[in-house]
């Protein structure tokens, strides 16, 4: 779950997703937002958000799959670069 509905329910195979363990749901479902959501904190934590137990090699693989690894590696602190809410610390230029 990313957000709980304010009314109604989101069902998967007839099961309200609010009754499922968050870790289990995240292992089986992916979300691709139109506008990327970046949280305040290190890049590594932003990537790990989708799978909290991910190892560093798995995080690097995810970044490579998203074509972000080379960009991240060029940042002064690499994967430890701290982002502001919404990626405020990143240049869009």
Question: In the chain, where are the structural domains located?
Answer: 1-30, 32-85
Q: How far apart are CA 4 and CA 11, in angstroms?
A: 12
- Looking at residue 5, its pLDDT comes to 87
Share of the chain above pLDDT 70, in %: 87
Predicted TM-score (pTM) of the model is 0.59
In the structure, what pLDDT confidence band is assigned to residue 88 with cuts at 50, 70 and 90? low
Mean pLDDT of 67-79: 95
pLDDT value at 58 more than 80: yes
Average pLDDT of the chain to the nearest whole number = 86
- Looking at residue 92, its pLDDT comes to 53
Backbone region of residue 41 per phi and psi (left: phi > 0; alpha: psi in -120 to 50; beta: other values): left
């Amino acid at each position: 779950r990313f957000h709980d509905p304010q009314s109604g329910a989101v069902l998967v195979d007839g099961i309200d997703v609010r009754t499922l363990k968050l870790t289990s749901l995240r292992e089986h479902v992916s979300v691709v937002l139109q506008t990327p959501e970046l949280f305040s904190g290190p890049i590594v934590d932003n990537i790990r958000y989708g799978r909290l137990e991910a190892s560093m090699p798995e995080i690097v693989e995810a970044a490579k799959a998203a074509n972000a690894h080379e960009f991240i590696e060029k940042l002064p602190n690499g994967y430890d670069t701290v982002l502001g809410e919404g990626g405020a610390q990143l240049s869009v230029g």
